[in-house]
Structure 1
Amino acid sequence: MFAVESERFFLKIFSAWFLFSMLLVFSAGIQPVVLILPVVIAVLVLTYWSVDCAYRTERFSRYATFRLISNLALAPAIAFVMTLAVSHIELKLGPLASVALSSVPLIIAGAAYAVMYAWRSKHSSLHVRGQRVVVVESAQQHHWGVGAVGAGLGSLLYPVFEAHNTSYSVVVFISIVLSLFMVFYHRSSISALRGLKEKESRERCHYTFMNIEEIREKRAASLLGRIFAVRAGR
């Protein structure tokens, strides 16, 4: 998850920005009265975060946080939009009730993340050498088993959606199961990033990318990279 490839550095960041921006716009289109202002704020914050990771920051932990959240939040975000559609189109709920019901997948994923955040892994995929972070991808065979446990827990929600036999409900159910699978599957990544941030806090320093020179070259070759580099230096 955290591997940094200079060739795909911008692509990974802005593809996540595009996907989440579209989901936010879709949600505002379903319930504009309640969500238009929060969506505008969320898109602005997401844009700033994406630009900062792409063109400004040299802190590995900031980029890794963006990658982790964008990976874990995609399925719950899809579930949120689909539940919003179900509650508005099928259930005919009001705006506030629709948003409240649609937040349930986010709450479930957040609770699973909180459990995994408290869990400590014996092995970390993030190693510090000097002031740089080396990403060592671990074997995945055990991750699949634990991820399947998370998916199994999500399947317990099936009777809730069985009563609403629509394509929306199927997507919501699959998204919630996938959300739990992703959180459990990436539990080691969550633990590794937590450990890195704690190490930074203890030593009062910030670690950078192992291939920071390549990233600087990519930024320098981009017009936006040069613009934001100038503004960051002021």
Structure 2
Amino acid sequence: MVDTSLWRIRRSGLAFFLYVAMMPGFMTLALPFLLVPYLLSLVAALAMALYQTYVNESFTRYARWYLFLNLSVAPILGITLLCTYGDKDAHWSDAKTFLLSVAVALFCVLLYAAMKRIDYRQLPFDSRRERVICFNSPNRHDRLAMLGAGLSCTLYPLLRDKAELPLWLMALSASFGLYQFLHYRKVIAGLPRLHAEERRLKTTYTFENIEEIRQWRARSPLARLFARLAPPPH
């Protein structure tokens, strides 16, 4: 469920940055007062993408970031559609649109917090000699999520004259969002336990394939630059 392959680590940073640039960008068009937070989020997204791609060796940090990238696709898409629908079709006030968007985000946060408290006997990963072994083969359904998000944003301005289309798209986003949370439920519940184990043992768990990742980073000029500026903790 948590893909730590070199292929994923090399490409997820760029995907994350483009995702943050596109989705909240559409939202900012509907709510112009979010421009400054949007620009700040771009800077933060770029910094996080570079860190995860070229510096980070902590599995826990990567898994949290990986979860955010996968779990936030549907909610942010739904909020973007909500903002666009409220501004262009329903003619809601900015305050109403903003409050509804906050309500969607708050629901996702509460759902995540509730799933963290579930105690599963079997988790999709285990720690062995300061490394985390993922048992499940990587799932490629996140590509469908990104494709669906892109198609929704493309089709909406073309077909928005159909009165019910925005509502159908928002319902689709909500359904897929719930599916994502259920799909990653054991990862959500297992990460706090893994982090607590790290703190108890005063160590940092790394990737199973850390040698492969280090070899690739050793050949990257950008990774060597970041290593000089901020050597990764071991």
TM-score calculated relative to the size of structure 1: 0.83
After superposition, where does 1:103-114 map in structure 2 within 5 Å?
A: 103-114=102-113
- Give every structure 1 segment of 4 or more consecutive aligned residues whose post-TM-superposition deviation is greater than 3 Å: none
Q: Does the aligned pair in 2 maintain the 1:126–1:133 contact within 8 Å? A: yes
Pairwise CA distance, 1:120? 1.2
Task: Output the amino acid matched with 1:105.
Answer: V
1:156 counterpart residue number: none
1:90 counterpart residue number: 89
Task: Output the amino acid matched with 2:219.
Answer: A
Task: Output the amino acid matched with 2:126.
Answer: H
Count of aligned pairs between the two proteins: 209
Secondary structure of 2:204's counterpart equals: coil
1:35 counterpart residue number: 34
Task: Output the amino acid matched with 1:7.
Answer: W
Partner Cα distance (1:65, 1:110) in 2: 14
The sequence identity of aligned pairs, in percent, is 25
2:205 counterpart residue number: 207
Pairwise CA distance, 1:4? 1.2
1:196 counterpart residue number: 194
Pairwise CA distance, 1:75? 0.4
2:53 counterpart residue number: 54
- The worse-fitting range, judged by mean Cα deviation, of 13-22 and 122-131 is 13-22
**Would you say 1:172 and 2:170 are equivalent positions?**
yes
Pairwise CA distance, 1:104? 2.8
Task: Output the amino acid matched with 1:102.
Answer: S
Q: Does the aligned pair in 2 maintain the 1:56–1:225 contact within 8 Å? A: yes
Secondary structure of 1:106's counterpart equals: helix
Q: Does the aligned pair in 2 maintain the 1:86–1:168 contact within 8 Å? A: yes
Partner Cα distance (2:184, 2:230) in 1: 33
After superposition, where does 1:19-168 map in structure 2 within 5 Å?
A: 19-32=19-32, 34-137=33-136, 165-168=163-166
- The worse-fitting range, judged by mean Cα deviation, of 201-210 and 104-113 is 104-113
Secondary structure of 2:132's counterpart equals: strand
Pairwise CA distance, 1:44? 1.6
1:145 counterpart residue number: none
Q: Does the aligned pair in 1 maintain the 2:116–2:190 contact within 8 Å? A: no
Pairwise CA distance, 1:100? 1.3
Superposed CA deviations along residues 140-169 of structure 1, whole A, max 9, x for unmatched, are 9xxxxxxxxxxxxxxxxxxxxxxx943222
CA 1:165–1:117 in 2, change beyond 3 Å: closer, same or farther? farther
Q: Does the aligned pair in 2 maintain the 1:126–1:134 contact within 8 Å? A: yes
Superposed CA deviations along residues 13-36 of structure 1, whole A, max 9, x for unmatched, are 32122112211212112211x201
Which structure would you say has the larger RCO, counting Cα contacts within 8 Å and 6 or more residues apart?
Answer: 2
Q: Does the aligned pair in 2 maintain the 1:20–1:74 contact within 8 Å? A: no
Superposed CA deviations along residues 34-75 of structure 1, whole A, max 9, x for unmatched, are 201111122222222211111111111111111011111110
Secondary structure of 2:196's counterpart equals: helix
Partner Cα distance (1:233, 1:207) in 2: 16
Pairwise CA distance, 1:222? 2.0
Secondary structure of 2:178's counterpart equals: helix
Partner Cα distance (1:42, 1:179) in 2: 22
Partner Cα distance (2:48, 2:112) in 1: 21
Partner Cα distance (2:84, 2:110) in 1: 23
2:222 counterpart residue number: 224
Pairwise CA distance, 1:9? 1.8
Q: Does the aligned pair in 1 maintain the 2:9–2:52 contact within 8 Å? A: no
Pairwise CA distance, 1:233? 3.5
Structure 1 residue runs without a partner (length 5+): 141-163
